[in-house]
Amino acid sequence: MSVVLWAATGALFTGAVSLVLGLCILRQLAIRLTRVEQCVFGFLIGNAALSLVVFLFTAAYLAYAPVFVSFGLLTIVFTFIRRRSSPKVACSICVLPKLWAVLLCFRYAKLYLCRALGPEYSPDGTTYHLALVARYLREHHFPLITTNFYASFPEALEMLFLFAFSIGRHSAAASTHLLFLFATAAALVGFGLRFNVAKAGTAAAVLFFMCPIVGFDASVSYVDVAEACACFAVFYALQIWWQDNNDRVLVVAGIMAGFAGAIKYPGFIAIPFALGVVLWEVRKHRGRWKRCAPLVLLPAIFLVAPWLIKNAIEVGNPVSPFANRFFSNPFVHVSFEEDYRRQLAHWNDVTWPEVPLEVTVRGARLQGVLGPLFVLSPLALLGIRLPICRQVLLTGLVFGLPYPGNLGTRFLIPVLPFLTLAMSITLSYWRSALPAVLLFNNLVCEPSALEKYVSPYAMRLERQRWDETLRERAEPEILATRIEAYSMARFIDQNLPENTRIFDLGDGMPAAYMRQARDGYFEGALNERMRVNIWSGLFKDYQPTWRHTFNFKLRRLLSIRVRQTARSNAIWTIAELRLFHNGQELIPQPDWQLNARPFPWDVALAFDRNPVTSWRAWERARPGMFVEARFHRPSEVDRVSIDGPRDQEDMRLVVEGEDVTGNLVTLSSEAMAEDIPLPYGWKRMIGKQLKLNGYTHFVISKSGGGYNDIRDHPAEWGMTLAAERGNQILCELQ
């Protein structure tokens, strides 16, 4: 029970501090808002501010629970004192939403609360959202993380999670996210009241509130509902600005746009949107844009910049893990980014015609459903008769632009407030349609109904489990039944020292419940290289058993370059590149200048005389790629041999050299191919590589290739079996 109380306290304290901070900022801006709007914008602006404060504390090595609590208490006290003397902002309209709407939402609110306060076992929440938060709190700052690209995502909401987590642990973070659901619903109600679509606003709030994917997302430590809330607040603030003609509201819009971008990359679109709207509106007032544009742009940049700067410093790419072609860096491969984007854009091979039914009623392949009512979403278009609805639809369209990049149902959440509002406006013109629709949604969106028609694999809430929420059983026991890898994570947490570093070739682990560092096999460049190493012990295609030898007339050269001229889906790989003079190998010298394009950072691995390590281009093969060795003194070379795996059949290589006069000459384009054996103790060499790269342990799950081989013969890999839990094994590297 105390866990629940602490969790609730953590979330409520975070919400309260945010609200107080936000109201304080709103008072400084002296904007005329309704009471509902004051609460909504106060809460959201405060969240943005608190998030920034927590970021600064963490960056300054001050991420301690007492620091956060002290700051929160001081903020509340300070604001309370100042409030007495500050002038009251006028409140124009305030009507409570109708009772029936509250009644319809009540059981859903109970359901969400039950889940949010319960043990946190959401996949992304335990794998990285809270795993990173827990690590920041443990280390009291932002550690340099280059082997987990999730750490490069904007983390404005995670900063709020950190604040709440420091008080009430995991469930406090999830409950903090839930506050944004209430805020979004309130924002929709407030919007309806202000713009004379009160019924539609209230109905939209209820529809949004009951939407299955929204309910699920808001009840766990994800970030999508917060992003949706911020996006809608941008639109809302811009509408108020347009209606009241008060430029100070633009600051609110800017803060919201920045907050949206700082929560999640797709939220970045809020910034150009806000700027675009402002510039469009002031186009007829010469020079006004000079005053308005900074008002919206500066707060947005102020909120987003910390995350971009952090990434630029840590991983050399402000928008990591994306745009790696523009911001070349050794931490995320271009090939990974392309695969990742392709996977997100084609979840489970879903085609566009399948998307409408998948996101509304099926849910297995796109991870969750919006609910059957959204099959009728085209009806929203009928609302174009009203100017306000046209703007709502257009804005929804803008916030839907990133959706093709990730077809998951969750990624439609930022569009939902707009969609529900537009649908509700249309339905409000139809006699008795709104109550019918809300009642229908109330019946078909609850967990017991969803069980009947939604795929069991869809992300959705189960029925209320107050026994779990109240921890009638021990939390570890509950988590062990909920998370497949939890028992292994708990074993690691309890039995291994904190400086353990684990390479995870499994399906992911709930790192939020471990003190030890864990690197997933796809989460960074080094991780991918380690994965390829391990696979070379399991799959022939990855083994460097193919040698290409280029013989040519003895030449005295300043440098030698191997150029790839073909276009292929394969990734050009060189395990070893050797140079010969009259049959004698030229041993690579430390003063040789090695270079490669692309991915020059690993080029030394092609010359290290260790066949386990290899240089890979980490991009699909294309003409112009090369590997080069520049000698300190001119050297005579008459043969080049290249060892690599057998998947290089499509490559076309040309050996070129720079002669002593500085001319680049083609030495050979004809290679002799031959098979070569693997060195003895190959698997042990792989294990050694893992160890050399700083890993102490290795986890693999049944679903990963090689599970049986490693479990049955760990010694061959230079490991010892440390534990077997569920479908995973843990090995210690020798």
Partner 1 sequence: MIYGIFGFWRILSAFCLVALFLRVAGQASNQSITADEAFNYNNFLRSSLGNVFTAHYDANNHVLQTALCWLSIHVFGVTELSLRIPSLVGSILYFYTVFQLASIRFNRSFLHLVATLALASNPYLLDFFTVARGYGLALAFLALAVLAAVRSVSCDEANHKLLFYAGLWSALSVASNLAFLFPAGGLQTALLLSLLRCSGQQRLGAVVLSFIDSAGGPFLLWSFLILVIPLLTARPDAFYFGAQRWHETLGSLVSGSFFHNLEIPLLSRWPASFWHLCAMITTTFAPVLSGLILVAALLLVFRPSSSGHSMPTLTGLTFSVTVALLWLAHVLAHVKLPIMRTGVYFLFLFPLALLSFLPCEKDSPAGHLGWAFLPIIVFLVLLYVPQANAKATVDWRYDAATKKFAETIEMIRRYTASPNIHVGGSWVFEPTLNFYRVTNHYDAWQPIVRHKSTDAADFYVLTNTDRDVVKTLNLRVLLDDPVSKSILAVPSQMVVGRGK
**Which residues sit at the interface with partner 1, rule CB under 8 A?**
361, 372, 375-376, 379, 382, 385, 426-427, 429-433, 436-437, 440, 444, 449, 452-453
Helices (H), 615-669: none
Q: How many CB atoms lie within 10 A of CB 705?
A: 13
Angle at 391 between CA 388 and CA 394, to 5 degrees: 150
Decide whether 159 or 454 has the Cβ nearer to partner 1: 454
As beta bridge partners, residue 725 has 728
> Residue 56: helix, strand or coil by DSSP?
helix
Decide whether 445 or 502 has the Cβ nearer to partner 1: 445
Decide whether 124 or 354 has the Cβ nearer to partner 1: 354
**Paired sense of beta strands 719-725 and 728-733, if any:** antiparallel
Decide whether 444 or 729 has the Cβ nearer to partner 1: 444
CB of 281 to partner 1, least distance (A): 28
Element (H, E) at 139: helix 130-139
Decide whether 18 or 426 has the Cβ nearer to partner 1: 426
CB of 431 to partner 1, least distance (A): 5
Token pair of 11, please? 């979330």
Decide whether 67 or 364 has the Cβ nearer to partner 1: 364
CB of 413 to partner 1, least distance (A): 22
Give the DSSP letter string of 511-569: GGG-SSEEEETTSSHHHHHHHHHHHHTT-GGGS--EEEEEEEEEEEEEEEEEEE----S
Which of 241, 258, 325 lies closest to 297 in space, CA to CA? 258
Decide whether 360 or 635 has the Cβ nearer to partner 1: 360
Which of 557, 581, 554 lies closest to 662 in space, CA to CA? 557
Question: Which phi and psi angles does 417 have, rounded to 5°?
Answer: -55, -40
Left, alpha or beta for 371 (phi > 0: left; psi -120 to 50: alpha)?
left
CB of 451 to partner 1, least distance (A): 9
518, 718, 731 from 695: Cα distances, Å: 9, 13, 11
**Paired sense of beta strands 697-701 and 576-581, if any:** unpaired
Decide whether 118 or 368 has the Cβ nearer to partner 1: 368
CB of 436 to partner 1, least distance (A): 6
CB of 104 to partner 1, least distance (A): 15
Decide whether 430 or 466 has the Cβ nearer to partner 1: 430
CB of 371 to partner 1, least distance (A): 10
Decide whether 382 or 470 has the Cβ nearer to partner 1: 382
Share in percent of the chain as helix, strand, coil (round to 5): 55, 15, 30
Helices (H), 282-383: 288-315, 334-345, 355-357
CB of 368 to partner 1, least distance (A): 16
CB of 442 to partner 1, least distance (A): 12
Give the DSSP letter string of 235-278: HHHHHHHHHH--TTHHHHHHHHHHHHHHH-GGGGGHHHHHHHHH
CB of 361 to partner 1, least distance (A): 6
